[in-house]
Amino acid sequence: MSSLPKTAIIGAGSSGIAGAKVLHERGIPFDCFETSDQVGGNWVFGNRNGMSSSYRTLHINTSRERMEYSDFPMPKSYPDFPHHTQIAEYFNAYVDHFGFRDSIRFQTPVADAARTPEGTWRLELGSGETAEYDALMVANGHHWDPRWPEPAFPGHDVFAGEQMHAHHYTDPDAFRDKRVVVLGMGNSAMDLAVDSSYVAKETWLAARRGAYIVPKYLFGKPADQLHNDPRVPYAIRQRIVQRLILAYTGRPEQYGLPKPDHRFGEAHPTVSGRILDRIAHGAITPKPNIAELTRDTVRFTDGSEVEADLVVYCTGYKVSFPFFAENLISAPDNDLPLYRRVFHPEIDNVFFLSLLQPLGATMPLAERQSEWVADYLRGEYHLPAPAGVRADIEREREKMFKRYVKSKRHTMQIDFDDYLYDLEKERRAGADRARAAGFRLPVAPRAAAPGSAQRSTATA
Ligand SMILES: Cc1cc2nc3c(=O)[nH]c(=O)nc-3n(C[C@H](O)[C@H](O)[C@H](O)COP(=O)(O)OP(=O)(O)OC[C@H]3O[C@@H](n4cnc5c(N)ncnc54)[C@H](O)[C@@H]3O)c2cc1C
Ligand SMILES: NC(=O)c1ccc[n+]([C@@H]2O[C@H](COP(=O)([O-])OP(=O)(O)OC[C@H]3O[C@@H](n4cnc5c(N)ncnc54)[C@H](OP(=O)(O)O)[C@@H]3O)[C@@H](O)[C@H]2O)c1
């Protein structure tokens, strides 16, 4: 038995590999289970796990320097907004550079994760084995389970054309010579409408709410690299950024898009360097929300109607944990309250990586979160008392729900720089608590060594 808690990681996407790298370096015994035959999750186009939402034309919309891990820069030969193939190569190179590929069990999905009476985790693997762990890092991603319009639009069952969710889109050929309605105002809708606009007969972009369109560049720099100091009050930063964007693009309604019913920063950012240009060229026609479908047409809430062959729902994703019993851990309406988006308030040995929606990239966040969890597993960080944890969660939630437009996509929003700033402060405070408690391990090491998975018949 090791002197540190044995940990299982579910998933080897960009978050799971950040977790694995940190545990590897910090000497915490672990196994990482991955459904696919390779790392990279969403960024592996055509991933054999069937879960990737990437498409042939996908480029990142957070810039290279914001997205890369802190100790492994992306190659300087990469553009500011690399293609998904480059991003997938980068994640592969990361695993080889830090040398922990042997700890990843590929093509081994976690089918079930349940707590034993002793509080350890018992995993059932797709291979038919079971294994026990002291702690669990969950990194299964939250952009793979499509959320279709709820409720479905009237007439969805009589529409003779095709209806598709953005998750299933892979290639612009899907739009070729068709009359296409794209629904949504998030980043999927922007990319798919633009792709469609080059090959479709006609493209309409329908939205129930307006958005500020953040350009990829401002002042000749990737927009997400503009100086953003968490010590400056948020309201001031918000006003400055909104003015900059509007000065650069003009108002969305000038392009025929709905007027945003909120200020910038009160919705997840919609980033596109091309959507306004394609609208300006007449290649995309904005519309309000869909009201109903008929056999051959889509009718919008302003009463206008178009004949359509394809409706693409870019209506977001569900947060799903198919391996947990619903009454143990679930996220109804995408809502799972966590302490600083990592620690579960009632279960002291489960941690979530990148279960958040940042105004910024997720990879450096997963990296910092993993270091924080490693501190905890080594007894070098202690959480505040349970009442303090609960109060903090409530405070954060109240602030977020007050700031953001009410939507199932706004249940775990964070500001990239502010989050990292606060996390470092909390790590230091928790280190003091750990020192005062003599570096006691919050999670006792009890489970058998990693790699000791057993055939379920042997453990039955
Ligand atoms: C189209 C699109 C574009 C995006 N662009 C950006 C961007 O530019 N910048 C950015 O920061 N974010 C972007 N995102 C957000 C995206 O979620 C992150 O980039 C990133 O993929 C998150 O990594 P992850 O490891 O948390 O999840 P994923 O990439 O989804 O990886 C999860 C991994 O877990 C594995 N897994 C799942 N369930 C199990 C199981 N039961 N057992 C074993 N393994 C399992 C999967 O096989 C997968 O490999 C984008 C999302 C989408 C949909
Ligand atoms: N190039 C890239 O890097 C890229 C590309 C695609 C996606 N992404 C990322 O992937 C994640 C998911 O993005 P996404 O665009 O797929 O989803 P999303 O951000 O959740 O956006 C969903 C959109 O659909 C709308 N919507 C939801 N239900 C609706 C309904 N019933 N009727 C009408 N409209 C409805 C939402 O409107 P409300 O706001 O009113 O709820 C919102 O505009 C995000 O993190 C995004 O940044 C990145």
Q: What angle do CA 31, 132, 339 make, to 5 degrees?
A: 75
Rounded to the nearest 10 degrees, the angle between the axes of helix 84-98 and helix 14-25 is: 10
Q: Does the beta carbon of 341 lie inside 6 Å of ligand 2?
A: no
- Residue 352: enclosing H or E segment and its boundaries? strand 350-352
Structure confidence at residue 449 (pLDDT): 64
Q: Does the beta carbon of 412 lie inside 6 Å of ligand 2?
A: no
pLDDT at 337 over 60: yes
Q: What mean pLDDT is predicted for residues 55-68? A: 97
More confident residue, 150 or 228: 150
Q: What mean pLDDT is predicted for residues 217-242? A: 92
Interval 359-415: pLDDT, tens: 889 999 999 999 999 999 999 999 999 999 999 999 999 999 999 999 999 999 999
Tokens of 272: 């596109």
Structure confidence at residue 276 (pLDDT): 98
Interval 42-52: pLDDT, tens: 999 999 999 99
Out of 45, 143, 187, 354, mutate this one to test ligand 1's pocket (max ligand atoms within 8 Å of CB): namely 143
Q: What mean pLDDT is predicted for residues 71-96? A: 98
Q: What mean pLDDT is predicted for residues 271-298? A: 98
Structure confidence at residue 227 (pLDDT): 84
Q: In ligand 1, which atom is closest to the CA atom of 358?
A: 11
Percent of the chain exceeding pLDDT 70 equals 97
Bridge-based pairing state of the strands 290-293 and 297-300: antiparallel
Lowest model confidence (mean pLDDT) among 178-182, 231-235, 390-394, 425-429? 231-235
CA distance 416 to 363: 11
Residue ranges with strand state E in 196-314? 202-206, 213-214, 217-218, 221-222, 270-271, 285-287, 290-293, 297-300, 305-307, 310-313
Structure confidence at residue 458 (pLDDT): 34
Whole-number Cα distances in Å, 372 to 351, 428, 436: 10, 10, 18
Interval 253-269: pLDDT, tens: 999 999 999 999 999 99
Tokens of 334: 């995408």
Nearest ligand to the C-alpha atom of residue 113: 1
pLDDT at 54 over 80: yes
Q: Exposed (0-12), middle (13-18) or buried (19+): which is 21, by Cβ within 10 Å? A: buried
Q: Which residues, other chains included, contact 332 with Cβ-Cβ below 8 Å and sequence gap of 6+?
A: none
Q: Give 383 Cα–ligand 2 centroid separation in angstroms.
A: 34
Structure confidence at residue 164 (pLDDT): 98
Q: In ligand 2, which atom is closest to the CA atom of 313?
A: 24
Q: What mean pLDDT, rounded, does the chain reach? A: 96
Q: Does the beta carbon of 407 lie inside 6 Å of ligand 2?
A: yes
Q: Exposed (0-12), middle (13-18) or buried (19+): which is 282, by Cβ within 10 Å? A: exposed
Whole-number Cα distances in Å, 428 to 181, 421, 438: 51, 11, 15
pLDDT at 459 over 60: no
CA distance 340 to 356: 10
Nearest ligand to the C-alpha atom of residue 267: 2
Predicted model pTM: 0.97
CA distance 240 to 242: 6
Instruction: Return the SS3 of 114.
Output: strand
Structure confidence at residue 444 (pLDDT): 96
Residue nearest to atom 26 of ligand 1 (CA): 141
Q: Which residues, other chains included, contact 335 with Cβ-Cβ below 8 Å and sequence gap of 6+?
A: 411, 412
CA distance 316 to 321: 16
Instruction: Return the SS3 of 35.
Output: coil
Buried b (16+ CB within 10 A) or exposed e, 403-433: bbeeebbbbbbbbbbbbbeebeebbeebeee
Pocket of ligand 1 (CB under 6 A): 10-16, 33-36, 41-43, 49, 51, 53-54, 58, 60-62, 67, 109-110, 139-141, 143-144, 188, 323, 354, 361-362
Residue nearest to atom 45 of ligand 1 (CA): 11
Lowest model confidence (mean pLDDT) among 5-19, 221-235, 242-256, 260-274? 221-235
Interval 409-458: pLDDT, tens: 999 999 999 999 999 999 999 999 999 999 999 999 998 766 666 664 43
